[in-house]
Structure 1
Amino acid sequence: MNTKLGTESSRLSRRRALAAGAGLLASGLAGCLGSASGGNGGETDAESTSNSTEDGPVVVASFFSFYDFARKVAADTPLTVKNLIPTGLHGHGWEPNASITREIIEADAFIHVGEKFQPWADRAIQTLKDDEIDTQLINVREDVELVELAASLDPEEEGVGEGRGQDPHFWLDPQRAKQSVDNITEGFVELAPEHEDAFRENAETYKTEVLDRIDRDYQQIFDSADRNVVQLAAHNAFQYIGVRYGVEMRPLVVNLAASGDITPSDITEAKRVIEENDIRYIGAAVFETRRPAEQLLAETSVEAYYPVTPYAGVREDWVEMGWGYEEIAYNINMPTFEVVLGNKSPDEVGPDGWGEQWRNFE
């Protein structure tokens, strides 16, 4: 982590100074960081927590899950935490415009997911270093044990081995997610040491009362299932759940890109899995195209698809309800896993009307 020196007043002076010249800095970086695509043109919703007046340190996050963890750690302190990803967009594969660059430049700290996951974040970090801008860097992936790509699939079939790399989606495992909470906490202590006790207490509470509970409830779902195979019309982002709970996740897109191409052989393989395992329901990714799920619905015995998400983004209604990692786990992913594993019918899970609301969702 980069160390940011100086008192809170010096940080505020720095922010004001940067604000005055941020237009030049941002315009100079726009070509490096790429232009916005889709959604609202790359403008952030500027979701924040703890201190809306921004009199204290300001932290920006490159990914929704870690924004949510950070706002929990920063609760009841002067720290402001902002989510850079616009509502309705997937946090993986998005390219920001200069307004996001300006947010990073002016922030006191930047929470990111480590190298080679969000190219725009990598380029922003390199620019900060090249221009000697002292925004503190907090890498949530530091000291997290990653697994090989496609580790939850058949190694012979998927070709797992040397050269395949590692899967970055570790936060889907609640136990691995706890390490990212620790990394955020250490970064905040470095940034605002006068609030160390609050940061550490908030982090410990979140890990034990939320992440451990999510872990136990997930474990119960998968332990109760007669089937250990889940078919997902989604990209390969869920295998940490498979590794943690001993279930085989079958993504339709076997690479890491949410927009990855689906080949005829991918469809053929999904049909085989569905037939051999007598699968009635499948999961479909909330922030990805539904066309593959609709194709499987039309060409197989599957009756419906229901939502899954790797916590990579949020819908407007989720923001309005204040949903974070915990609420998405209990209202989206857990009910769907209950259904696709055959533990319960769609009408038996989630809040009243869940099955009808999310059946073949748009």
Structure 2
Amino acid sequence: MRQILAVICLVLSSFVAAEPIKVVASFSILGNLVQEVGGDRVQVMTLVGPGEDAHVWQAKPADLKKLSGASLFFVNGLGFEGWLKRVEQAAAYKGKVITVTKGIKPLTLKEEGHHDHDGHDHGKTDPHAWHDPRAVLVMVDNISAALQAADPTGAEQYRKNAAAFKAKISQLDTQTAAAFAAIPGANRKVVTSHDALGYLGARYQIQLFPLQGISTEAEPSAKEMAALIREIRKSKIKAVFAENISNPKLIDQIARETSAKVGPPIYSDALDTKAPANTWIGMFTHNTQAILAALK
């Protein structure tokens, strides 16, 4: 009888859904990557939400509560979250911190003099690796490994989710590379509102002219603006793009003083609350299609 009851309990337990693992991602783009891999086995919460700027973000009590109750904390690293240690300490976080960019060779920023704005000094390292699909494949692997270690019962599901997601990313990368390759290299020049698309530019050989540096708080001087306007006229750059977390006034000024057209908003450091840019795939597709349309 005991054996029969044990078998019955085992069968019944297989139908009881496991409690989702509570995890926190530092910002919205990373939160989507974690959700894609974790599926319904994880409850993903983000600190810097859709449409919010991680460069100027400050934690609220609700954010600290999210983190204090989480098992895993997924962060980008590479200096992106300048507030990271301060928030961990304030939340008394005792769980594991997973840096998803581990194994990625970061790009080095060309310009000198990166300013420290309330702890947001990135030095010479460009943290925006999520704009290169090849880097995202590494990030997905790191996320999958961390979830498997934390939840061995769901390991096979995490592997399957990661494999399916990576297949979509690779296909999208192949299609995008072919589309940019069809445009002459001399025409692949774009002005953006801040220096966040370096990985995208490096992947598809796009020459980028950012108005601001790595921080969205530092605005260009009048001398720098004048030099950029001269370069746009000289190089006949066709398009300028503001980002969803940036003030578009500088982009509008450039458009008025040159023949460049203002393209649709580019999503750089944050997702949107609605489609198409409410997922990484949607964001990447929107950004690349907008740039391709402008360059053509």
- For this structure pair, what is the TM-score category when the shorter chain's length is used for normalisation? 0.7 to 0.9
How many percent of aligned residue pairs carry the same amino acid?
22
Instruction: State the Cα distance separating 1:122 from its structure 2 match.
Output: 2.6
- The answer (yes or no) to whether the contact 2:45–2:66 under 8 Å persists in 1 is no
**For residues 99 and 200 of structure 2, what CA distance do their matches in structure 1 show?**
22
Aligned residue identity for 2:280: Y
CA distance in structure 1 between the partners assigned to 2:104 and 2:199 by the alignment: 12
Query: Per-residue deviation at 1:136?
Result: 1.9
Q: Counterparts of 1:270-309 in structure 2 under 5 Å?
A: 270-309=228-267
Gaps of 5+ in 1: 1-52, 151-157, 344-362
AA at the equivalent of 2:154: H
Amino acid at match of 2:291: F
2:268 counterpart of 1:314: no
Distance in structure 1 (CA, Å) of the matches to 2:154 and 2:206: 41
What is aligned with 1:241? 200
Q: For 2:273 and 2:38, how far apart are their aligned partners in 1?
A: 23
CA contact (8 A) 1:231 1:274 kept: no
Q: Secondary structure in 2 aligned to 1:118? A: coil
- Contact 1:172-1:238 within 8 A present in 2 as well: yes
2:290 — aligned with what?
336
Whether 2:34 is the aligned partner of 1:80: answer: no
Q: CA deviation at 1:86?
A: 3.0
CA distance in structure 2 between the aligned counterparts of 1:304 and 1:322, rounded to whole angstroms: 19
- Does the 8 Å CA contact 1:170/1:240 hold for their aligned counterparts? yes
Question: What is the correspondence of 1:136-175 to structure 2 with a 5 Å cutoff?
Answer: 136-150=96-110, 158=111, 165-175=124-134
Match of 1:351 in 2: none
Pairs within 5 Å for 1:179-194:
179-194=138-153
Q: Which of 100, 103, 115 is the matching residue for 2:63?
A: 100
When structure 1 is superposed on structure 2, of 116-125 and 183-192 the one drifting more is: 116-125
Q: Which amino acid aligns with 1:248?
A: Q
- Runs of 4 or more, structure 1, over 4 Å off, are none
* 8 A contact 1:230–1:282 mirrored in 2: no
| Corresponding residue number in structure 2 for 1:41 | none
Contact 1:235 1:251 in 2 (8 A): yes
- Over 3 Å counting, the alpha-carbon distance change for 1:294 and 1:80 in structure 2 is same
- The answer to whether the 8 Å contact 1:114/1:141 transfers is yes
Q: Which residue of 2 aligns with 1:111?
A: 74
CA distance, structure 1, for counterparts of residue 42 and residue 66 of structure 2: 15
Q: Could you say what the CA RMSD is over the residues aligned between the two structures, in angstroms?
A: 2.3
Secondary structure of residue in 1 paired with 2:31: helix
Give the alignment partner of residue 323 of structure 1, picking from 270, 278, 283.
Answer: 278
Contact 1:236 1:256 in 2 (8 A): yes
CA offset at residue 68 of structure 1? 0.8
Find the aligned partners of 2:277 and 2:214 in 1 and give their Cα distance: 28
Q: Distance in 2 between matches of 1:54 and 1:261?
A: 49
1:219 is aligned to 177
Using structure 1 for the length normalisation, give the TM-score: 0.69
1:74 is matched by which residue type in structure 2? G
Structure 2 letter corresponding to 1:232: V
Query: If the length of structure 2 is used for normalisation, what is the TM-score?
Result: 0.84
1:281–1:305: 8 Å Cα contact kept in structure 2?
yes
| Alpha carbons 2:193, 2:211 under 8 Å: kept | yes
Preserved contact between residue 281 and residue 306 of structure 1 (Cα < 8 Å) = no
Unaligned runs of 5+ residues in structure 2 are: 1-16, 114-121
Residues 243 and 280 from structure 1, CA distance in 2 versus in 1: closer, same or farther, beyond 3 angstroms? closer
Distance 1:280 1:273, change over 3 A: same
Deviation at 1:149, TM superposition (A): 0.8
| C-alpha distance in 2 between matches for 1:265 and 1:336 | 29
Q: CA deviation at 1:228?
A: 4.2
SS in 2 for 1:317: coil
Equivalenced residue count is 271
Letter matched to residue 99 of structure 2: N
Structure 1 residue aligned with 2:14: none
The alpha-carbon distance between structure 1 residues 339 and 270, as it changes in their structure 2 partners (threshold 3 A), is farther
Q: CA deviation at 1:335?
A: 2.1
Q: Give distance in 2, aligned partners of 1:89 and 1:297.
A: 25
